[in-house]
């Protein structure tokens, strides 16, 4: 079996060394040190925190869709905005461009941008959003 990448997390350096030793006694491993990127997710560490992001991946999606010059907004989807059904029809497979884009956005939402999860979910729904009476 081949495992391409593996990240280990512990609460202390001695525990990390013990975990690495235990894994290495069972399998052949290569320690590549502190990670800077995994599965397209950039990892940045500071003394008290870890930041993850997918800026390059998001930019590539925007470029592919021809909307790389759009301006970011604070609210990904206004709950009062009416939505239209999938423009490619209600096909249940990933062969249409709309479903493909939703899959890419779902990966982003799951990995680094939970703030867009609601929007992606609503866009994937076959039912248009009904404006709320707020």
Q: Are residues 84 and 31 in the same domain?
A: no
What does the pLDDT read at residue 128? 45
Mean of pLDDT values over 40-62: 92
Domain count, the chain: 2
**Residue 91 predicted with pLDDT over 60:** no
**14 against 86, higher pLDDT:** 14
Could you list the residue range(s) of the whole structural domain that residue 95 is in?
55-124
113: Cα within 13 Å, side-chain hemisphere: 21
Q: Are residues 82 and 117 in the same domain?
A: yes
* Assigned domain for 115 exists: yes
Phi first, then psi, for residue 51 (nearest 5°) are -115, 140
Q: Are residues 98 and 86 in the same domain?
A: yes
Angle (CA) 48 51 56, round 5°: 155
96 pLDDT band, cuts 50/70/90, is confident
**What's the first-to-final CA gap in the chain, in angstroms?**
55
CB 102 within 8 A of CB 48: no
Q: Are residues 78 and 44 in the same domain?
A: no
Q: Are residues 72 and 118 in the same domain?
A: yes
**Residue 132 predicted with pLDDT over 60:** no
Of 96, 115, 120, 112, the closest CA to residue 39 belongs to 112
DSSP state letter for 80: T
Q: Are residues 48 and 60 in the same domain?
A: no
Q: Are residues 110 and 69 in the same domain?
A: yes
101-103-109-115 Cα dihedral, nearest 10 degrees: 50
**65 against 85, higher pLDDT:** 65
Q: Are residues 84 and 108 in the same domain?
A: yes
DSSP state letter for 59: H
What does the pLDDT read at residue 78? 77
What does the pLDDT read at residue 75? 74
DSSP state letter for 43: E
**Residue 86 predicted with pLDDT over 60:** no
Distance CA 23, CA 19 (A): 6
Q: Are residues 64 and 101 in the same domain?
A: yes
pTM: 0.69
Which residues neighbour 88 within 8 Å (Cβ) at sequence distance 6 or greater? 96, 97, 98, 99
């Amino acid at each position: 079996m081949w495992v391409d990448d593996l990240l280990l997390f512990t609460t202390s350096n001695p525990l990390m060394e013990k975990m690495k030793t235990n894994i290495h006694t069972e399998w052949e491993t290569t320690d590549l040190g502190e990670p800077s990127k995994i599965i397209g997710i950039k990892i940045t560490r500071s003394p008290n925190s870890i930041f993850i992001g997918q800026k390059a991946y998001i930019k590539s999606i925007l470029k592919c869709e021809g909307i790389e010059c759009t301006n970011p907004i604070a609210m990904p989807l206004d709950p009062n905005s009416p939505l239209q059904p999938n423009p490619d029809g209600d096909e249940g497979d990933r062969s249409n461009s709309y479903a493909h884009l939703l899959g890419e956005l779902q990966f982003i939402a799951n990995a680094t941008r939970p703030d867009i999860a609601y929007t992606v979910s609503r866009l994937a729904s076959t039912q248009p959003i009904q404006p709320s009476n707020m």
